[in-house]
Amino acid sequence: MGLKARPGNSQLAMRRKLAVLVPKVFEAECEYERQQGFYDGQTLEEELGAPASEVQLRALEAHLGVALPPSYRAFLSLYNGGSFGFGGGAPILGTEDHKTPHTVSTVQWKSNMFNEFEPVNPLELGAIPFLIGGSRNMILLEPPVRSDGEMDVVEYYLTAEEGRHPSLVAFFEKRLRREDKKAAIETPPHRDSSKEGRNAKEEALFALERCDAERFRKAFHASTDPADLLRLTGDAADRNRTSIQQGRMLLTLADLLLAQPPSSIHRFLPTLVIAAVHAGAVGSRKRAELGASILARLRPRLAQEALEAELVCAWANALTKQGKHREAVGLFDVALDCKRLSPADYCNGLFAVHRAHGTEAQAEESQVRYFLNRCLPMADKNPAIYHNAACVLMDLGDRSAVLDQFRYAIDANYEGLEAMKSDESFLGIRNDSDFAALLRAK
């Protein structure tokens, strides 16, 4: 019987450091959230995964084709993926996450952005994703590999580098200093935006930390470089997703953002839409009203911005896979206003509606019909839309329309026809004579 591989002294030392650092960073984030009034009682065990096994770590190394940097290996041996506040909702990838279709497509999308906007694409040079989401945040472990086996840990805002650290241990040490400093800030009673020597950006940061919408508005208008403050709005939207106070902050951000030229807002529009839909999905009537108010401001601009609408669809698709049906359907509902989405987005929108059926997030028939009207005209470009439309119509009990979708799929030589025929969604008409005759004719 073979012996299990045992980590070396350096790996054990890193593991011990991370076992202390990570809970401290998490607690510092929670303390800040308590001060701001939006801590929801989450625990470290709920946010981060159970330890990865040696088999899982080796399988990931085989999948990536490289040895994992010691600090990343040590992290996964403690916490196999999960999420942290600094990720803005984006997941820390565990050993299995690297292989999922969603991760693969998201990494490809990020890679395309690097190719379009930057002279060097780290993902094509062998960078390992640590945290990567469909919105703005991304953290990569980038070659070259140093003599100690480590790679630099690089934080990105879209494709712009925001921070670089020699290892994950150094990254979490920096995060702890940052979180402790943020949580320690107290509101000085004498602080005023008009005080001489205090610049607009400092005031804006101060206002965002406390969700003080009016203070931020004044600082924004007083700034000599308001474009610089636009970036802060995106960061705020990532944090401010739940409470009424934070919802009002989002209203202010939406108003300020939409007053800017389109070229200035493309980074932030999807984040605000996602935050607004989240505010409307958490159950409170007042929050739902706030979310609806924000979306009313954002819809017209989003309908004109194809890239931003596609980002919203990517996030909605991820939420569908997570079972967050209310938010997924809400995001697709907004994004479908845009007339330049990819056919896959329309297909995924119908799938989200179907998955929500029978849950507390089930859409009203009028909303379902809206989805069908927006998506079916794109079915000639993606016949899988016929499949998902048939599922949705089956949910509505519209037997005749279900048969029509099968006919259209057959005429379009839909490659997934066999899967469509065996789909359990159609058990209710499997013995229907018209349905059987249609399949026999094929």
| Domain CATH number, residue 30 | 3.40.1580.10
- In a domain? residue 1: no
What share of the chain has pLDDT > 90, as a percent?
A: 31
Residue that finishes a domain, picked among 247, 267, 302: 302
257 and 179 share one domain: no
Rounded CA-CA distance 295/357 in Å is 23
Is the model's pLDDT at 353 over the cut of 90? yes
Domain with 101 in it: 9-183
Q: Are residues 134 and 261 in the same domain?
A: no
Q: Kindly state whether residue 242 falls inside one of the protein's structural domains.
A: yes
Is residue 358, in this structure, part of any structural domain at all? no
Q: Are residues 131 and 61 in the same domain?
A: yes
Q: What's the pLDDT band for 47 if we cut at 50, 70, 90? A: confident
* In-domain check, residue 416: no
User: Quick one: 38 and 103 in the same domain?
Assistant: yes
Residue 20: its pLDDT value, please?
92
Is the domain of 174 the same as that of 220?
Answer: no
Q: What CA dihedral angle connects 233, 237, 239 and 240, to 10 degrees?
A: 110
Average pLDDT (332-345) is: 84
One domain for residues 211 and 261:
yes
Domain count, the chain: 2
pTM for the predicted model, two decimal places: 0.49
| Segment 367-399, tens digit of pLDDT | 999 999 999 999 999 999 999 999 999 999 999
Of the residues 253, 279, 302, which one is the last residue of a structural domain?
302
- What is the pLDDT confidence band of residue 193, given thresholds at 50, 70 and 90? very low
Whether 318 maps to a domain, the answer reads no
Per-residue pLDDT, 89: 52
Percentage of the chain exceeding pLDDT 70: 68
Asked, for residue 347, whether it belongs to a domain, the answer is: no
Q: Does 109 reside within a domain?
A: yes
Same domain, 174 and 214: no
Task: State yes or no: pLDDT of 344 exceeds 80.
Answer: yes
Least confident residue range of 138-147, 159-168, 296-305: 296-305
63 and 147 assigned to the same domain: yes
Same domain, 160 and 234: no
Longest CA pairwise span in the chain (Å)? 82
Q: Is the same domain home to 174 and 264?
A: no
What's the pLDDT band for 115 if we cut at 50, 70, 90?
A: confident
Is 32 in the same domain as 166? Answer: yes
pLDDT digits (tens, 9 = 90+) for 54-88: 999 999 999 999 999 999 999 999 999 887 655 55
